[in-house]
Structure 1
């Protein structure tokens, strides 16, 4: 989590600098690929993440999918994964005394 908290502001600052490099005269000193490649990558990432979110918001707002694209709560996609059987016995809540079976 700590890495994520530091990475997000760093990527935002880099994006701001690259956006300025694309339109300011000092950006001409950089190789064109160094400016264009990250900008294209960011645009594709926003497209891949943004369009499905927009579609889900529109279908939910219009009532086509009232619970979102994954369906109502309790649908197979929303159920938690079942764990395998436990090897140790479940705790009984007792802290002292003989073991009860």
Structure 2
């Protein structure tokens, strides 16, 4: 996934359509966007459930101590986890924007060539 996360945006920016078909790049961007957003939102929902007390062990059914392997979980660990969630959410949004722009760019190019 890490390698694809580097190759797909690079392929879009450098127009590697001769090597990788457009539909494949768009699909990879859309799937990447969905996976990142779902991962971030699920983790945020888990934190929300723990914080409000709706589910004391979150949606995973595990305590923070079980998740991290530490008997005492520090504030740093909790806040760094939330930072990572925001990072994943931002990545998902950016992948979605990249997919949308890439799709629009190719549609505009087709319209322009048909107008001539």
Query: TM-score w.r.t. structure 1 length?
Result: 0.45
Query: TM-score w.r.t. structure 2 length?
Result: 0.41
Structure with the largest fraction of helix: 2
